[in-house]
Amino acid sequence: MLPPHRHDSPLEAPLSLGDLPENADWDGRIAYLDRDGVLNRWKENYVNSPDDVEILLGSGKAITSLRGMGFRICVVTNQSPIGRGLWGHDVLAQINAKLQELLLEEDQGAEIDLILYSPYLPSEGSWSRKPNPGMLEAGRQIVDNAHRFPGKPNNLSYGDDWIDRPDESDSILIGDRKSDIIAAGRFGVKGILCDSESGISGVIDQILSDKER
């Protein structure tokens, strides 16, 4: 199965959710976000250190807008440099922490609820590597469990083993690659393709207008 990994915690560990803006009740919507080319600038030879992290202008404000609409924020990112032996999970933890820091510097409401990543090579065929939907499956269950059963550990299922799935029609995935959109389709969530130069800020107005209809 080769399950996804979670930033700074084991998959099974309880997730603590912060309040949504104005203490709004969560209605079950999640915004699944790719990382490179969506929140931070994509680099041809990978983002290899915290110093390489450069957020795309407007990413923090866009996350705040999504949270204001009632979305929980779950980052789902392929990170094969770990599988290639270029660097380890500890380096990725530093990179992800720097990303969150920079997003909050741009807008103090830009809180990420959960970061999941797939460290595997494409040749390993992991269910958690996009275009497969394993990270989205895990993200939904972890966020749902945190909302419904605060403080309780996660017992995750994948693929055909996961029954009684919730409706994902009101959730979204934003990515800059075809693999992101395929993963969205396989999971049953609306996929939104952005340009890697503008990232999430280039599509946020479209999302806001769609939700107002």
**Who contacts 160 (Cβ-Cβ below 8 Å, separation ≥6)?**
none
Residue with tokens 């203490």: 23
Judge contact between 113 and 142, C-beta under 8 A: no
Let me know if 36 is a catalytic residue: yes
- Give the residue from 30, 102, 99 showing the smallest Cα distance to 69: 30
The C-alpha atoms of residue 81 and residue 90 are separated, in whole angstroms, by 12
Instruction: At 191, list the tokens.
Output: 């996929």
Task: Check residue 164 and report its DSSP letter.
Answer: S
CA contacts within 13 A on the Cβ side of 8? 14
CB-based contact 35:52 (threshold 8 Å)? no
Instruction: Select which of 36, 113, 176, 180 is catalytic.
Output: 36
- Cα–Cα nearest to 76, from 23, 130, 150: 130
Residue of 8, 27, 34, 195 marked active site: 34
Establish whether 210 is a catalytic residue. no
How far from 157 is each of 136, 139, 142, CA to CA, in Å? 11, 11, 11
Helix (H) or strand (E) holding 5: strand 5-6
Do residues 93 and 147 make contact, with C-beta atoms less than 8 angstroms apart? Answer: no
Kindly list the catalytic residues.
34, 36
